[in-house]
Amino acid sequence: MATTWNLRSVLKERGINRASEISRLICDRTGYQLSTQAVCDLLNTEPKMIRLETIQAFCDAFYFRLSDVLDVLPSAAKKRRKKIGNQDFAAFYPNARDYSRSHDAVSNVERSTGNKHL
């Protein structure tokens, strides 16, 4: 998944640069306790995980939306795509090939046993 984390630049536009100041402002404005080190980590690196309450505290304290600091783009599909008409079938149903194979296997068993309720 391709993402872009812009927290530092969004806060810099608002004239806030220091992690200690950000931590204090979040606590004063929202009551949410966030350590200076945690803020420093969020400013310097894109997080792999982040609590929703932390995001909410930043958004409430500095009046921005999540989309202002995090941009999520879909990953490029790497599998061979099957065209159906003018549409790219894999873009809408990326696991369709797996489903099709498992469905064919069940259909073959149903035909050989005569049982449609496996």
Number of domains within the chain: 2
pLDDT over 90 (residue 15): yes
Residue 6 inside a domain? The answer is yes
| The model's pTM | 0.61
Residue 22 inside a domain? The answer is yes
d(CA 103, CA 101): 5
Residue 118 inside a domain? The answer is no
Residue 88 inside a domain? The answer is yes
Residue type at position 66: L
Residue 11 inside a domain? The answer is yes
- Pair (92, 40) in one structural domain: no
- Pair (62, 89) in one structural domain: no
With contact defined as beta carbons under 8 Å apart, do 61 and 7 qualify? no
Q: Which residues contact 53 (CB under 8 A, 6 or more apart)?
A: 32
State the Cα torsion 58-63-66-67 to the nearest 10°.
-150
Mean pLDDT across 57-71: 94
Residue 93 inside a domain? The answer is yes
- Pair (28, 57) in one structural domain: yes
Hey, CA dihedral for 106, 111, 113, 118, is it positive or negative? positive
Host domain of residue 89: 83-113
Q: Which residues contact 47 (CB under 8 A, 6 or more apart)?
A: 5, 41
- Pair (92, 63) in one structural domain: no
- Pair (21, 58) in one structural domain: yes
Q: What is the pLDDT of residues 93-111, one digit of tens each?
A: 556 556 555 555 555 555 5
Q: What is the pLDDT of residues 83-93, one digit of tens each?
A: 555 555 555 55
Q: What angle do CA 39, 45, 48 make, to 5 degrees?
A: 95
